[in-house]
Amino acid sequence: MIANIQKKRIIEYLKEGKRFDGREPLETREIKIEENVSKNAEGSLSFLLGKTEIYVGVKMSVVEPYPDSPDEGTLSVNVELSPIADEEFELGPPKIEAIEMARVVDRGIRESGLIDFKKLCIKEGEKCWQINIDICAINNDGNLIDASSWASLIALFLTKLPKYDEEKGVIEKEKTNNPLPLNKELMVFNLTFYKIGDVFVIDPTKEEEEIADYRISFGIVDRDGEPIVSSIQKGREGEISIEELEEIFKAIKEKYKNLYSKIKDLI
């Protein structure tokens, strides 16, 4: 647990509009990526956000479609938080933090309309493509949720469909030049706000993240130059007021274009 004196200093700095690393409260850290880090994935990258680092791989498989959507493909997101990234993470089955993170990423992508799932159908009611997004944390210095969302988005745009032999029912190792069926105008990214004292911050360091009263994540889609919220997930026990939500929505409108442009440039 972070020391009380450190918590007090962080809160005092934020009241002055400062952060220990020199950023403003609503400013993100530098992003660096390296594409195609896995030979076995159809799309992959390493993603560095400040000192927070993750690997993302997209793997395609052929499965039976869900009964309620027999003419659509499917999406599965998995997050691995191991002691490699943070000594507080434990080995074994996914804990609640990893499950929640996977659901936030999944919901943001799914609800935005980014993926045209109907074009992933191979044979209605029998076979479809499943997009498997695997996220592995390498180093945790805060904001793994947004890092996972942004990296997953970029990985989807890097992904090429593998060849599939319908007669034999076998996915071949060779990739095609066919990208995933993505609605590029519905590019979605996650943005999480953390309430620390009386101030909201985005892209927190691990120290800032640990002392936050609550966090709230938004899946945001650009529609004709305006931000549209497609998904919301609140975390931690702190209460949020209507006034605070209004403050957050105002910040989204003011700040999203800059972040949207950063992610778009990386894609």
Residue 169, C-beta contacts closer than 8 angstroms, at least 6 positions apart: 62, 127
- Residue 153, Cβ neighbours under 10 Å: how many? 25
The pLDDT value given to residue 76: 97
Provide the pLDDT confidence category of residue 174 given band limits of 50, 70 and 90.
confident
pLDDT for the residue 179: 95
* Rounded Cα gap, residues 111 and 177, in angstroms: 27
Per-residue pLDDT band at 242 (split at 50, 70, 90): very high
- pLDDT at residue number 256: 85
Which range, 12-26, 71-85, 153-167, 245-259, is most confident? 71-85
Residue 1 scores a pLDDT above 80: no
What band does 77 get if pLDDT is binned at 50, 70 and 90?
very high
Question: Residue 84 above 60 pLDDT?
Answer: yes
Which is more confident, 185 or 195?
Answer: 195
**pTM above 0.85?**
yes
What confidence score (pLDDT) does residue 243 get?
95
Q: 65, 73 in Cβ contact below 8 A?
A: yes
CA 110 to CA 127: how far, in whole Å?
20
Q: Which domains does the chain have, with CATH numbers?
A: 21-266 (3.30.230.70)
Query: 212 pLDDT band (50/70/90 cuts)?
Result: very high
Least confident span in 75-89, 91-105, 159-173, 239-253: 159-173
Average pLDDT for 195-213? 94
**Model confidence at 3: pLDDT above 70:** no
Residue 96 has pLDDT above 80, yes or no: yes
Alpha-carbon gap, residue 110 to 146, rounded angstroms: 16
Is 124's pLDDT higher than 90? yes
pLDDT tens sequence across 223-239: 887 899 999 999 988 88
Write the CB contacts of 199 (distance below 8 Å, at least 6 apart in sequence).
Answer: 11, 14, 15, 25
Average pLDDT over residues 68-72: 95
Listed range (24-33, 94-103, 183-192) with the worst mean pLDDT? 183-192
* pLDDT given at position 8: 86
What is the average per-residue pLDDT within 93-119? 94
The confidence score (pLDDT) of residue 158 equals: 95
Q: Distance of CA 28 to CAs 8, 25, 97, Å?
A: 22, 9, 22
Averaged pLDDT for residues 51-65: 96
| pLDDT value at residue 220 | 93
